[in-house]
Amino acid sequence: MRLLLIEDDLALQANLQTHLQQDNYLVDVASDGEVGLFQGQEYPYDAAIIDVGLPKIDGISVIKKLREQDISFPILVLTARDSWQDKVAGLDAGADDYLTKPFQAEELLARLNALIRRSVGQSSPLITNGPLSLNTKSCQVEVNNRAIKLSSSEYKLLEYMMLHLEEVSSKAVLTEHIYDQDFDLDSNVIEVFIRRLRKKLDPNNNYNFIETLRGRGYKLKRIQSQ
Amino acid sequence: MSNLVTKDHTQAASKSKPNGIWPKRWQTNSLKVRLILSTLLMTMILLPIVGVTLSNAFEQQLYISLKNELKASSYSIFTVAEVENSTLVMPELLLDNQFNISQSGLYALITTLPVPSIDSGVKQVQPINSKDPLWQSQSLLTLTIPTLLPQPEVGTTQLTTINLQNHQHLLYSFSVSFSDNGQAFPVTLHLIKDQQASLAALHHFRQQLWLWLLVLMAVFIIVQVVWLLWTLKPLTQLTHELESIEKGEQNALNSRYPDELQQVTQQLNALLVTEENQRNRYRNALADLAHSLKNPLAVIQSQPGINSSGQEQLQRINQIIEHQLKRAQSAGQSAWHLGVQIEPVLDKLLTTLAKIYRDKAITFNVQLESKFTFKGDEADLMEMLGNILDNACKAANGQVAIKITAQHAKLIIEIADDGIGINESQQAVILSRGGRADTYQAGHGIGLAIVNDLVASYQGQLLIANSSTLSGAAFTLIFDL
């Protein structure tokens, strides 16, 4: 999952980035509204965390401009102002939830998790697809109730595909959602991860979870429970 | 204790403050009533005085002209009178035919004037019995001659009235002395004039005078009332505009006012703008303060490895900042309260809450009797409603009911949910919390404490009970309409 974090307080930005990365998120940061808006327009993020009080362009305007361009990823607003007027203004501009500073990191992660799930029409942290289940909260993956150990990159790849079932994702898209922005794009890496995932999830090729569409990308197929 | 005393003192001071020497029921605070009363007073007193004066002047003038007329007649009679051998000789007919025609209304007779006795030194003039006049005009022949007639001194006149044939008559007596061979021959001429015609004229004049005065009075009153309404129109307009401002329908006085009011309205507009700006500035400053205090707190809290007691202390600091800043921001104490339409504020909050509690899919049941306004600040209203609604959404299973009504000039906002409700001891705890944020325990929301403070600053009431329609709690806010 790739996140955009726009926060002007560098210490807070760094702390949040650490927390989010620990929770398997890829985090792009911006320290002012202008850079944040540009990044939000350029990259297909899974969610954004935007502070209200930003230099250059304030947070509310950034949200408004993103929404005006039909950019629909969920947005969590961070605000030091705890009045209902500010909450209403934030959510009215197009944000999906708000969090008042100071907050506990766990609270932020829980809200973010819920927002991302909700944005793909998933209300519980446990996503299942036939014998395959993935818990976005605990980052655990099971096939037929048997726990599967995945590396961080493999988990990120599977989580993204689970949240986008039956959607074709190109190698480029997958790379963007799994690697930091400065990572040198090498499409072979995705191929390697896909091969490993197939092996770990379905060693006997019973389900054929991941389908390859030549020249277009990969798709996680919906499998009816037996 | 000293606090209590101070409170009582202020109450007593504000309660009884005499504002004039008049008893209360004689006082009126309406300019219109004052002006109408003074106009009526002026019309009811001045016009009758004018009427009486005119009528008296006319009557006097009438007498004077009658007197002059009679004086002229007396000269014409004396010109034709002669005394020969101690006898008064008069022509048979007089020049003025009124003296010659019987019962014409103008009569004359001449009586002798007894010479006053000089010995006594006092000139005594007694009215004499005039059964035997020296002469009487033909018009008087068929009538009974009045008996007691005045006897003015020689050379003087006297004007009285007598009753003749049951009619009021004017009697003009003039004494002269003829000289008959060196001997004085004093006589008195009495002219009697029927007053009926002049009385009728006087009566007619009075009738006309009062009729026209009444008409004038009516016209005067109508003109005054119209003039009054026209003059007071700007004031009426000002009242209407102020009402609209209080209702939140407009935020400044827009109409053109007369020069005398212009300064007041301009100042008022300036005051409105200044107040609004000042409050915004204040609010922004406090928001900046909150921002600069809370960012470091957020940094500390987001640092890994903070233990729970550290977290708790941070939470406490945060709550104190939050509560005190919100209390400072409240506009409740402001002297001037602009009205805020409740419906748009509620709509905005419900849209926001529906988004926040999307997973719960809460149904909001809004009952708004009419377009009510809240006399206060929009941010304060939003804060109170937002906190209570947020609590209701947290507690609710799927339904929140909002009912806004007016009773006995009070605005009543009731917010109920279908949660498990609040038991009585908890209700008491919520309401008995003091105003100090640092008395709260960590983890307790300060939302309701802020609501309580805000409600108090607007002299409102916050009631907590169990909902009569839904299973959960019902919070009721009561304010002056």
pTM, rounded to two decimals: 0.61
Which residue type occupies B426? Q
The reply to whether A9 and A109 lie within a common domain is yes
The reply to whether A114 and A9 lie within a common domain is yes
The reply to whether A149 and A42 lie within a common domain is no
pLDDT at site A6 = 95
Taking an 8 Å cut-off on Cβ atoms, the answer to whether B299 and A87 are in contact is no
Count Cβ atoms within 10 A of the Cβ of residue B183 and give its class: 0-12 exposed, 13-18 middle, 19 or more buried: exposed
DSSP per-residue codes, A168-214:
-B-HHHHHHHHS-TTSPP-HHHHHHHHHHHHHHH-TT-SS--EEEET
In a domain, B65, yes or no: no
> Which segments within B301-357 are labelled E, that is strand?
339-341
pLDDT at site B56 = 93
* Residues sharing a CB contact under 8 Å with residue A36, sequence separation 6 or more, in sequence order: A4, A6, A30, A50, A54, A57, A62
Token pair of B223, please? 């003109």
Of the candidates A81, A88, A123, the beta carbon closest to that of B349 is on: A88
Instruction: Return the H-helix or E-strand segment holding B88.
Output: strand B87-89
- Taking the CA of residue B456 and the nearest CA in chain A, the distance in Å comes to 18
* Residues sharing a CB contact under 8 Å with residue B463, sequence separation 6 or more, in sequence order: B475, B476, B478
Of the candidates A18, A80, A98, the beta carbon closest to that of B290 is on: A80
Is B361 an interface residue toward A (CB < 8 Å)?
Answer: no
Tally Cβ neighbours within 10 Å of residue B228. 15
In a domain, B312, yes or no: yes
Instruction: Decide: B437 and B446 in contact? Cβ < 8 Å.
Output: yes
If DSSP codes are grouped into helix, strand and coil, which group holds residue B305? coil
> Is residue B425 left, alpha or beta, with left meaning phi > 0 and alpha meaning psi from -120 to 50?
alpha
Which CATH number covers residue A67? 3.40.50.2300
Residue with tokens 């007027």: A85
Give the whole-angstrom CA distance, residue A190 versus residue A196: 10
Instruction: Decide: A16 and A49 in contact? Cβ < 8 Å.
Output: yes
DSSP per-residue codes, A42-86:
HS--SEEEEESS-SSS-HHHHHHHHHHTT--S-EEEEES---HHH
The reply to whether A94 and A31 lie within a common domain is yes
Token pair of B143, please? 């009538």
Give the whole-angstrom CA distance, residue A18 versus residue B406: 54
In a domain, B237, yes or no: no
In a domain, A226, yes or no: no
Residue B460 CA to chain centroid, in angstroms? 33
Nearest residue to A1 via CA among A117, A129, A133: A117
Taking an 8 Å cut-off on Cβ atoms, the answer to whether B387 and A87 are in contact is no
Q: What are phi and psi of B45, to 5 degrees?
A: -100, -45
Number of structural domains in chain A: 2
Measured between beta carbons, the chain B residues lying within 8 angstroms of A12 are 295, 298-299, 302
pLDDT at site B333 = 56
> Is residue B125 left, alpha or beta, with left meaning phi > 0 and alpha meaning psi from -120 to 50?
beta
Residue with tokens 């209360």: B24
Is B302 an interface residue toward A (CB < 8 Å)?
Answer: yes
pLDDT at site A101 = 85
Of the candidates A12, A78, A104, the beta carbon closest to that of B311 is on: A104
ipTM > 0.85, yes or no: no
pLDDT at site A65 = 93
- pLDDT of A120 over the 50 cut: yes
Q: State which of B194, B213, B241 marks the end of a domain.
A: B194
Strand partners, B177: B186
Q: State which of A80, A97, A119 marks the end of a domain.
A: A119
Q: State which of B167, B194, B221 marks the end of a domain.
A: B194
Of the candidates B303, B352, B359, the beta carbon closest to that of A91 is on: B352
pLDDT at site B13 = 39
Is A118 an interface residue toward B (CB < 8 Å)?
Answer: yes
The reply to whether A14 and A63 lie within a common domain is yes
Give the whole-angstrom CA distance, residue A77 versus residue A112: 10
Is A85 an interface residue toward B (CB < 8 Å)?
Answer: yes
In a domain, B6, yes or no: no
How many angstroms separate the Cα of B113 from the Cα of each of A133, B74, B176, B191?
153, 16, 9, 15
Q: State which of A119, A144, A174 marks the end of a domain.
A: A119
Which CATH number covers residue A204? 1.10.10.10
Of the candidates A16, A19, A84, the beta carbon closest to that of B386 is on: A84
Residue with tokens 């099971």: A142
Which CATH number covers residue B427? 3.30.565.10
Write out the residue range of the structural domain in which residue B140 sits: 81-116+126-194
In a domain, A56, yes or no: yes
Return the exposure string of B44-63: e unless at least 16 CB atoms fall within 10 Å of the residue's CB, then b. Answer: eeebeeebeeebeeeeeebe
Is B349 an interface residue toward A (CB < 8 Å)?
Answer: yes
Pick among B283, B293, B299, B351 to test the A interface (most A CBs inside 10 A): B299
DSSP-derived secondary structure letter, B398: S
Give the whole-angstrom CA distance, residue A218 versus residue B276: 59
Give the whole-angstrom CA distance, residue B188 versus residue B205: 34
In a domain, A225, yes or no: no
pLDDT digits (tens, 9 = 90+) for A5-18: 999 989 889 999 99
Tally Cβ neighbours within 10 Å of residue B28. 11
Is A81 an interface residue toward B (CB < 8 Å)?
Answer: yes
3-state secondary structure A11-22: HHHHHHHHHHHH
Measured between beta carbons, the chain A residues lying within 8 angstroms of B351 are 88, 91-92
Number of structural domains in chain B: 2
Taking an 8 Å cut-off on Cβ atoms, the answer to whether A88 and B378 are in contact is no
In a domain, B290, yes or no: no
Inter-chain Cβ pairs, chain A and chain B, closer than 8 A:
92
Give the whole-angstrom CA distance, residue B24 versus residue A1: 78
How many angstroms separate the Cα of B117 from the Cα of each of B121, B124, B154, B173, B291?
7, 8, 14, 21, 125
Write out the residue range of the structural domain in which residue A206 sits: 126-220
In a domain, A36, yes or no: yes
In a domain, A148, yes or no: yes
In a domain, B215, yes or no: no
More confident residue, A161 or B304: A161
- Taking the CA of residue B356 and the nearest CA in chain A, the distance in Å comes to 6
pLDDT at site B120 = 47
Q: What percent of chain A has pLDDT over 70?
A: 95
Give the whole-angstrom CA distance, residue A91 versus residue A107: 18
Strand partners, B184: B179
Measured between beta carbons, the chain B residues lying within 8 angstroms of A74 are none
- Enumerate long-range contacts of B285-293, CB under 8 Å, 24 or more apart: B286/B325, B286/B328, B286/B329, B287/A80, B287/A81, B287/A83, B287/A86, B289/B325, B290/A80, B290/A81, B290/A82, B290/B321, B290/B322, B290/B325, B291/A53, B291/A80, B291/A81, B293/A80, B293/B321
The reply to whether A112 and A9 lie within a common domain is yes
* Residues sharing a CB contact under 8 Å with residue B191, sequence separation 6 or more, in sequence order: B70, B73, B74, B77, B106, B107, B108, B171, B172, B173, B174
Token pair of B33, please? 């009533």
Which residue type occupies A146? R
pLDDT at site B440 = 40
- pLDDT of A103 over the 90 cut: no
- Among chain B residues, the shortest Cα distance to A79 is held by B291
Which residue type occupies B308? S
Instruction: Decide: A128 and A105 in contact? Cβ < 8 Å.
Output: no
Give the whole-angstrom CA distance, residue B76 versus residue B73: 5
The reply to whether A138 and A216 lie within a common domain is yes
If DSSP codes are grouped into helix, strand and coil, which group holds residue A110? helix
In a domain, A131, yes or no: yes
Taking an 8 Å cut-off on Cβ atoms, the answer to whether B318 and A19 are in contact is no
More confident residue, B209 or A189: B209
Pick among A52, A84, A97 to test the B interface (most B CBs inside 10 A): A84
Do you find a cis peptide bond into B258, omega within 30 degrees of 0?
Answer: no
The reply to whether A113 and A130 lie within a common domain is no
pLDDT digits (tens, 9 = 90+) for B14-37: 444 444 555 555 566 777 888 888
Taking an 8 Å cut-off on Cβ atoms, the answer to whether A12 and B298 are in contact is yes
Measured between beta carbons, the chain B residues lying within 8 angstroms of A99 are none
Low-confidence ranges of chain B (pLDDT < 50): 1-19, 119-125, 434-444
The reply to whether B334 and B454 lie within a common domain is yes
Is A67 an interface residue toward B (CB < 8 Å)?
Answer: no
The reply to whether A198 and A107 lie within a common domain is no
In a domain, B447, yes or no: yes
Measured between beta carbons, the chain A residues lying within 8 angstroms of B303 are 15
Q: State which of B176, B194, B212 marks the end of a domain.
A: B194
The reply to whether B450 and B314 lie within a common domain is yes
Q: State which of A83, A103, A119 marks the end of a domain.
A: A119
Is B298 an interface residue toward A (CB < 8 Å)?
Answer: yes
Taking an 8 Å cut-off on Cβ atoms, the answer to whether A88 and B382 are in contact is yes
